[in-house]
Structures are given as structure tokens and as C-alpha cells.
Amino acid sequence: MTPSMTLSAAPKRLPIGALLALAMTGFICIVTETLPAGLLPLISDGLAISPSMAGQMVTAYALGSVLAVIPMTIATRGWRRRNVLLLTIVGFLLFNSITALSSHYGVTLVARFFAGVAAGLAWSLLAGYARRMVEPDQQGKALALAMVGTPIALSLGVPLGTWLGGLVGWRTTFGLMSALTLILIVWVLVKVPDYPPQPAHQRLSLRRVLITPGVRPVLAVVISWMLAHNILYTYIAPFVAPAGLADRVDLVLLVFGIAALAGIWLTAKLVEPLLRKTVLVSLATFALVCVVFGFFGRMPQVIYFGVAVWGLSFGGAATLLQTALADAAGDGADVALSLNVVAWNSAIAGSGVVGGVLLDRWGVASFPWAMVVLVSVGFVIARSARAYGFRAGPRGAGAAVVVGH
């Protein structure tokens, strides 16, 4: 590791303003991705298309993230880090603005695709950037703070965007997202430090990263955990309907979001000394919730309590998995985190397919048991990856603490 890549000169106090700018970037990523889901009828009317065609705006965004993240990450490894961050934010500004102004469905889909490209690059960048701002023993806390925008977006941002869409129209709502990015650009320029690119001799190839011990087990846990999570999250409305909560999906998701925020706070306390144990406990807790849902999923009290525990166990997932992945990958952390974006988004897409098949063939009662299987697979993989992927003991004890960005 070269002197420029060390963290010895990093301040002891967390750079709150800079980390919150990263959190705002994540917030914009999530809201931009999911906003059409809450505005489908309005978009359908505005573009004179069917709701299913409007729904492809979400698909185009996810496709952009998955297809572009690895080549974009590799292509920008030689750039200064803040320039890459600003590129992603300017991408949101440009393509959300086009979405707001476009009256042509094809143009709108292209804009959504490239907004997804910006998001994929952002997600591959944020974790490494947050880790680079602080000393090694603060990296977990820094990442937890940088990731706080995700549950806020899911619990508050999307419902607020849906409400705004009904109030001022879907185009104005996308325009407001562009206005947020303008504020964020200034915020980044003022608060976020710049860093040089990773030296060329430290940049590992995609193949080298994939065969690095610990990388594949962590990615496998990402896929199994996120598949299980998103089957339930994507189809939460039909799942809670038998409990008489079809009209209270917004409240159910709010409970999840608030609990997820608490999970992030708890993870910030535990990620440094107990990363491995926290991952295992989180997976075991989610599996237990799934079993409870399987037996008592028609009781509304059980749904609310189970969703709260589910949110608590899931809130720190991004922090835990990205920290473990970056630690395992060493100098290949930037490429590994781009692979994480692919795994995460592929699991989201896969959950839509798997959940749809389960729903059509066996109904929502099959969800908990399918999820138990997936979570159990993740638990077994995480438990067996003691030496590399999910190391025992405090972070930094025998771990290669490096910075990918």
C-alpha cells in the first residue's frame, strides 16, 4: 500500500457532513429507482401508455445498473474520486430532467436506463469512498452513516414522492429530484474531500478479484439474503392481505423503514467488534421471522411485530456485506463492490420472477418457506466463511484493511 493510500492522517472524528452527502447520493439513487412504482397511473396517463409499459421504467433503470456498473467502475479507476462522484450526480440531474420533460416513451426509457448507469457507478463508489474518509477502526461506522439514505428513501422518500406526484404531477416530482441533485452537487464540492485514483499497480483484474479468498462467499450471501428479502418486500401487499392489512401497506412499510433505521444504528455499534456474529444473528433472526410468518401470517399483530424485527435485522445488511466484501477483496475492493451491485440488483430482479411464480402457483403462504430455505443457505455459507469472507473477531484483527476508492 502506498503512502497516499494509507489512512494514518485521517481525522479521529467522523466527517459527518461528507458522509451525509454520500447518504444523500444513496437516497437519490433509491428514490429515482422506485419513484415510478408509486406514480404508475399518473405516468401511464401522461405518456398514453399502459401501466405495465410504465412499469418498464423501473426495469430499464435496473438494467442500466447491472449492465454498466463493472465496465464503468473499471473505466473510471484512473479518475480522481470526487470527479467520479460528481459524474454520477450530474447523471441524475441530466436524466431525471429528461424524464420530467420527455413526452416520448422511448426517450423516457433511454433516460431511465442511463439514470440506472449513474446509480450503478454510484453504488460501486459510495462504500469505498466512505471507508477512505476515516481510519480503519472507524470504517464500519462511516459506512453505516453513508448507507443511512437507503432506508430513509424506502420508508419516507418513496411515499413522499408518491404523495407529491398526486399533488403536483409526476413530471414536477422528477423535476424536484433534479433540484435535489443541484443542492447535492454544491454539498459535495463544499464538504466531500477529493482523493487520487488508486495507483495502477494496485488495480486488480475482474478475474483476480473473483478468485480472491472470501469474495465469492460474501457475494453468495448477498444473493441468497437479498433474494429472500425482496421476495417479501416486492410482494408485501398480497402477503399482508390475508391478515386484513391490504389497505395498510403504507403503515407496514413505515414500520419496516423505522425498524431498518434502528438496525443501521445498531449495526454501527457492532460492525467493528462483531461483524461476523452480527451477520449470523441477522440471518438467523430473519429465518425465525419467516417461520413465524409461515405459521401465524394471518394475524395482523404478528405481521406488524414480524415486519419490525425483519426491518431491524435487515437495516445493517448493506453495511455488513459491503464491509466484509471490501475487507476480503483488499486492493480489488472497487471491482468487488461493483460486483456487489450486480449481485444485489440481480437478486432484486430474480425475486420478482421467483416471487411471481410462487404467488401464481402456491399463493403467498409459500413465501415464508421459500425464504427460510434461501436465508438458511446464506447462513450456512456465512458460517463456513470464517477464515476469509466473514472473519471471526474484531475487524482489522488479521484483516487486510484497504481502501478500494
> Which own/partner pairs from 320-323 qualify as long-range (CB within 8 Å, at least 24 positions apart)?
320/267, 320/271, 320/275, 320/278, 320/279, 320/282, 321/218, 321/221, 321/222, 321/225, 321/279, 322/127, 322/143, 322/147, 323/127, 323/131, 323/139, 323/140, 323/143, 323/271, 323/275, 323/395
pLDDT of residue 405: 38
Mean residue pLDDT of the chain comes to: 87
Mean pLDDT lowest among 130-139, 195-204, 340-349: 195-204
Residue pLDDT, tens place only, 338-382: 888 889 888 887 887 888 889 889 999 999 999 999 999 999 999
pLDDT the model gives residue 404: 36
Listed in sequence order, the residues at least 6 apart from 382 whose beta carbon sits closer than 8 Å to its beta carbon are: 217, 221, 276, 279, 280, 283, 389, 390
Per the structure block, which three cell numbers stand in for 398?
A: 488479521
Which pLDDT value is given to residue 69? 87
Q: Can you tell me the mean pLDDT for 79-87?
A: 94
**Residue 11 pLDDT greater than 70, yes or no:** no
Query: Can you tell me the mean pLDDT for 280-308?
Result: 97
Domains defined for the chain, CATH in brackets: 7-197 (1.20.1250.20), 206-384 (1.20.1250.20)
Segment of 33-37, 193-197, 395-399 carrying the highest mean pLDDT: 193-197
The model's pLDDT over 53-72, given as tens digits with 9 standing for 90+, comes to 887 888 889 889 888 888 99
Mean pLDDT of 44-49: 88
pLDDT tens digits for 72-82? 988 888 899 99
Using CA atoms, how far apart are residues 24 and 215, in angstroms rounded to an integer? 28
The pLDDT tens digits for 220-263 are 999 999 999 988 987 888 899 999 998 888 788 889 888 988 99
Grid coordinates standing for 87?
459524474
**What per-residue confidence (pLDDT) applies to 49?**
86
Structure confidence at residue 137 (pLDDT): 81
pLDDT of residue 247: 84
Give me the percent of the chain exceeding a pLDDT of 90.
47
- Write the Ramachandran bin of 15: left for phi over 0, alpha for psi from -120 to 50, otherwise beta: beta
Res 337 pLDDT > 50: yes
Look up residue 388 and give its DSSP letter. Answer: T
Q: Long-range contacts for 130-134 (Cβ within 8 Å, ≥24 apart)?
A: 130/19, 130/22, 131/323, 131/326, 131/333, 131/403, 131/404, 131/405, 132/7, 132/81, 132/195, 132/403, 132/405, 133/10, 133/15, 133/18, 133/19, 133/193, 134/7, 134/10, 134/11, 134/14, 134/15
